[in-house]
Structure 1
Amino acid sequence: MTDRPEPWAPGSGPAVAGKRHAPATLRNRDAILSILRNELPSSGLVLEVASGSGEHAIHFAAALPNLDWQPSDPDPTALASIEAWRRDASLPNLLAPIQLDAANVWPIEMAAAIICINMVHISPWAATVGLFGGAAQVLPIGAPLILYGPYIEGDVQTAPSNLAFHQSLQDRNPDWGLRDVADIDHVAAQSGFRRTGRTEMPANNLTLIYRRG
């Protein structure tokens, strides 16, 4: 069964004192963390694009104390949730969230790594193009851009749950939907990235690793 994170919208989902909760986070955070331990640098700033509720940021910052974690999101409701979680966690390496729309100008000049979880399929294609374009501006050569989520692959049978999820996203917004990994590889190459890793994850998801240069 595919993780099915819901797009953030005012008033959607349970919230306590501004916090939002994404049930998929509890299911996938440790599997993602195992990848991050191998792929992230030993120190530096990690930019998380589309941090959503902020729960991943809390978990990863706590587990990786030598890295500074910069959460971000374009949605003010999500930013409020991230900040609420951050205040309670009081982690010295977790920075205040910034408003960042992947498809537009980025308010950050450099990062040692970028991670983006469950954004590519719940956003217009321009956001994915902007993700790689922005990453090319802020990442040094060899630094990783890590994507997690459900994808389509031409040589791999798509799980029925992923096909159903794709259709539900298309019904909600025709600009959304599961993306073909080949298309992501193509737009990555246009910004100077090549895919260096692919890992099958629980619930029919993938982690894709891209590096500059």
Structure 2
Amino acid sequence: MPQNTDHMPGTESAPPFSQAAENNKGPIGDILHHEFRNVKSVLEIASGTGQHAVHMARLLPHLSWRPSDLSENLPGLTLRHTQEAPPNLLEPMLLDIADHPWPVTQVDAVYAANCLHIVSWPLVEAFFKGAGGAIADAGTIAVYGPFRYGGNFTTPSNAEFDAFLRARDAAAGIRDFEAVNELAATQGFQIARDCDMPANNQLLIWRRR
């Protein structure tokens, strides 16, 4: 099933909704509950509908969670924040990963779900550059989504999904783990965990100590 194509548009009274985000927020939260146990501040990139932001902020009340997205997604994201935000969920902010430096610094972690296969490769490079500048000297990058390993897809369905993405946007596509890991390394991050997730996805955790 193609990801990021299941969004129901919002209305004046209801924020947009993604069934995929609803399905995967629990498994992701189970891992971040441990990985972010010593984290005090998180910047989420491409927060979309805001379902992950609300869930993670409730799950991790010891930290502050800052959602962000492009201008076209901010109204729905802001509406969800207004209706559902716990005290530690900060107001959504405008952030384009192509802009440098990012308008936030000294966070402990950067999180993104279903983002890197949607944007172009130059924007993937911009993501790691921006995350490296936003995170304090020591910190964490957490990325959820599908990846290839050694140039191979993990499942036939991921190969089909990649073809769907590239037909829709030639600059998009499932990324090679080795390539994104190299980008993380240029910012001083080392892979700490590679977690198998439902629906043929991974949750990658990098740390800079």
The runs of at least 4 consecutive aligned structure 1 residues that moved more than 2 Å come to 155-158
Residue 155 of structure 1: CA displacement?
7.7
- For 1:1-213, what aligned pairs fall within 5 Å after superposition? 4-6=3-5, 13-17=8-12, 19-74=15-70, 76-105=71-100, 106-154=102-150, 158-213=154-209
Specify the code of the residue in structure 1 equivalent to 2:176: D
Residue 157 of structure 1: CA displacement?
5.1
> What is the SS of the residue equivalent to 1:81?
helix
Separation in structure 2 between the aligned mates of residue 192 and residue 25 of structure 1, nearest angstrom? 30
Specify the code of the residue in structure 2 equivalent to 1:118: N
Specify the code of the residue in structure 2 equivalent to 1:4: Q
Q: Percent identity?
A: 34
Q: Which runs of 5+ in 2 are unaligned?
A: none
Instruction: List per-residue Cα deviations over 1:142-164 (Å, max 9, x = no partner).
Output: 31100000111118652111111
TM-score by length of 2: 0.92
Specify the code of the residue in structure 2 equivalent to 1:192: G
Specify the code of the residue in structure 1 equivalent to 2:87: P
RMSD, aligned CA? 1.8
Q: Which runs of 5+ in 1 are unaligned?
A: none
Instruction: List per-residue Cα deviations over 1:12-61 (Å, max 9, x = no partner).
Output: 73323261111101110000001101111435211001101111101111
Separation in structure 1 between the aligned mates of residue 194 and residue 124 of structure 2, nearest angstrom? 18
Number of equivalent positions: 207
For the 8 Å contact 1:79–1:97, the answer to whether it is kept is yes
For the 8 Å contact 1:54–1:78, the answer to whether it is kept is no
For the 8 Å contact 2:147–2:177, the answer to whether it is kept is yes
Residue 122 of structure 1: CA displacement?
0.4
Change (3 A) 1:20 1:78: same
